[in-house]
Amino acid sequence: MQEIQILIETTLKNLSEFCICECKSYCCRKGFLMLNSKEVDLIIGKNKDKFLKENSLKEMLNGKYSFNFENSEGACPQLKNFKCLIHQHEGRPQTCKDFPIFVLGDKIKVSPRCLAKKQNKFFEFEKEAERLGYEIVDEFF
């Protein structure tokens, strides 16, 4: 496994208690996802019509869906007690797998929506990533 992947996994593992206990999975309560139809089935399941009616799930022109977590359930339907029920599922959306660290080539973006980022908890990660030759960027690619 590449050094950067090991660094990312270690960093996220070290932050997992913060995400559950302090942040309370903010990204899964206040964010949104772009989903394909398989991901909609996995995350929303039988409630697709409900979320379409309340307008928190919108079908886009490209066949994808936009799903806003600020819905009648107040979060992603797969979030229970601030833990993801599908965290280990291989069909979990790529954005969920990557969040909050996005890597494209030699550039890394840590999402500013992440409360750990706002509290500077990625400082050591970013310094180590730079040491490995990655550029930390503020804009999304």
The length of the chain, given as a count of residues = 141
Residue 102 lies in a domain: yes
Do the domain assignments include residue 141?
Answer: no
pLDDT at 80: 94
**Between helices 3-17 and 123-131, what is the axis angle to 10°?**
180
Mean pLDDT by 10 residues, the chain (141 residues): 92 94 93 93 93 94 92 92 93 93 96 94 97 92 67
Q: Which amino acid is at 74?
A: G
The answer to whether the beta carbons of residues 87 and 117 sit under 8 Å apart is: no
Task: Tally the domains of the chain.
Answer: 1
The per-residue pLDDT for 140 is 73
Residue at 45 is within a domain: yes
- 107 within domain boundaries: yes
Give pLDDT, residue 70. Answer: 87
Q: Which domain holds residue 115?
A: 3-136
Instruction: Write down the pLDDT at residue 1.
Output: 59
